[in-house]
Amino acid sequence: MGTYILRRLLIAVPSLLGISVVLFTVLALAPGDPFEELATNPNVPPEVRLALRAKFGLDDPIWQRYFHWLTAMLHGDWGFSFISRVDVDQLILQRLPVTLVIIGASQVLALLVALPVGIYSAARPYSWFDRIASSLAFVGFSLPTFFTGLLFILLFSITLDWLPFVYRADITATGWAWWWEHIRQSIMPVMVLGLFQGASWTRYVRSSVLDVIRLDYVTTARSKGLKERVVILKHVVRNALIPVVTLVALQMPAVFGGAIVTEQIFRIPGIGSLLIDAILRNDTPVVMAVTFVFACLVIVFNLIADLLYGWLDPRISFR
Partner 1 sequence: MAVVGLCVLVAMVLAVMLGPSLWKVSINDIDFGARLNGPSLAHPLGTDDLGQDLLSRMLYGGRISLAVGLAAMLMAMLVGVTIGAVAGMARGSVDAALMWLTDLFLSLPQLPLLMLLIYLFRDSLKGVFGPELGVFILIVAVIGGFRWMPVARLVRAQFFSLREKEYVEAARALGASTLRQVVRHILPNALGPVIVAGTIDVAAAILAESTLSFLGLGFPPDIPTWGRLLFDSKDYLDIAPHWAMTAGTAVFLAVLAINFIGDGLRDALDPRKVM
Q: Is 80 helix (H, G, I), strand (E, B) or coil?
A: strand
Do the beta carbons of residue 202 and residue 147 sit within 8 Å? no
Binding part of the chain for partner 1, among 65-73, 116-124, 173-181, 297-305 by CB under 8 A, reads 297-305
Query: Residue 120: how many CB atoms within 10 A of its CB?
Result: 17
Q: Which is nearest to 148 in space by CA: 258, 268, 272?
A: 258
Closest distance of CB 157 from partner 1, Å: 9
Q: Which is nearest to 105 in space by CA: 213, 230, 240, 262?
A: 262
Closest distance of CB 12 from partner 1, Å: 9
Among 275, 286, 306, 309, binds partner 1 (CB under 8 A): 275
Closest distance of CB 173 from partner 1, Å: 26
Angle (CA) 22-26-30 rounded to 5° is 170
Near partner 1 in 98-157, by CB under 8 A: 125-126, 138-139, 141-144, 146-147, 150-151, 153-154
Closest distance of CB 2 from partner 1, Å: 24
Among 1, 6, 9, 22, binds partner 1 (CB under 8 A): 22
Give the separation between CA 310 and CA 319, rounded to whole angstroms.
10
Residue 231: DSSP 8-state? I
Helix runs in 214-317, H state only? 216-223, 228-230, 237-265, 271-280, 284-312, 314-317
Do the beta carbons of residue 157 and residue 163 sit within 8 Å? yes
Q: Is 76 in the site for partner 1 (CB under 8 A)?
A: no
Q: Is 212 in the site for partner 1 (CB under 8 A)?
A: no
Closest distance of CB 195 from partner 1, Å: 14
Binding site for partner 1 (CB under 8 A): 15, 18-19, 22-23, 26-27, 30-32, 125-126, 138-139, 141-144, 146-147, 150-151, 153-154, 158, 207, 210, 250, 252-254, 256-257, 260-261, 264-265, 275-276, 279-280, 287, 290-291, 294-295, 297-299, 302
